[in-house]
Amino acid sequence: PLKLKQCHGTCSLNLLLCPEMLAPPAPVRFHSVDYKNVLHWSPPNNGSSLQYHVQWKIYGEPEWLDVDRCQGVQRLDCDLSGVTSDPREWYYARVRAVSPSTSSQSAWALSPRFSPRMDTIISPPGLRVNFTERGIMVRVNPPRMHVRRMRNLLRYKIYIIPSSGEEDVVQMGCCTRNLTLKDLHHNSKYCLQAQTVIPTQTKSSARSRLQCGTTV
């Protein structure tokens, strides 16, 4: 083990000196949905029963910090939402593999630079519709935001798609999740979709699945 440890410093200079050195995990990437920021990686070639260590830092800071819950783990992902919770910051993470049986370890594998605000994918809202005599009652259910203060910024668009003719879109007002659509043709088929938008960030989700019905 001692010999291997001394070897680590020179491995990057000459791999032949250190045949047991592990290849690093690759690729290392953030995947972020609704500000839940999870780092993913793949095992190095021929990597089995390895453990992984994860560190993170804010872009521009010199110091790498351990992610406490992701030291010596065997799984291939690590939730960094807690330490990467400022949407305006840029972050890096890095992972290295360790083989407990041979006590060899890999070099660090670095993630691309990650911006929660730019890189997160926003989910569509849940959509419930009810075709009634008073019109189509629409209710949206917001996606679960992992950064609490993002919840107040969410708005919703409702797409109204008649079986023939142009689709229409209505943006719901601030702070409401209910809407009644009136003045539609009677006894006609309509489909609806909902979309989450964050106007202040010019971000939007995909559209929800179609919900269809016939007006009274």
For ligand NAG, the closer of residues 87 and 126 by Cβ is 126
Smallest distance from the beta carbon of 107 to ligand NAG, in angstroms? 17
According to the binding rule CB under 6 A, does residue 178 interact with ligand NAG?
yes
Look up tokens 């995990």; give the residue. 25
Among residues 154, 127, 152, the alpha carbon closest in space to that of 141 is found at: 127
According to the binding rule CB under 6 A, does residue 46 interact with ligand NAG?
yes
Binding residues for ligand NAG restricted to 77-116, rule: CB under 6 A? none
# chain residues binding ligand NAG, by CB under 6 A: 6
Q: Could you give the CA distance from residue 186 to residue 31 in angstroms, rounded to a whole number?
A: 45
What's phi and psi for 174, nearest 5 deg? -60, 140
Question: 166 Cβ partners below 8 Å, 6+ apart?
Answer: none
The single residue among 130, 163, 171, 188 that binds ligand NAG, judged by CB under 6 A, is 130
Task: Please count the CA atoms within 13 angstroms of the CA of 67 that sit on its side-chain side.
Answer: 26
**Part of the chain binding ligand NAG (CB under 6 A), chosen from 21-29, 32-40, 129-137, 208-216:** 129-137
Contact residues: ligand NAG, CB under 6 A:
46, 130, 132, 137, 139, 178
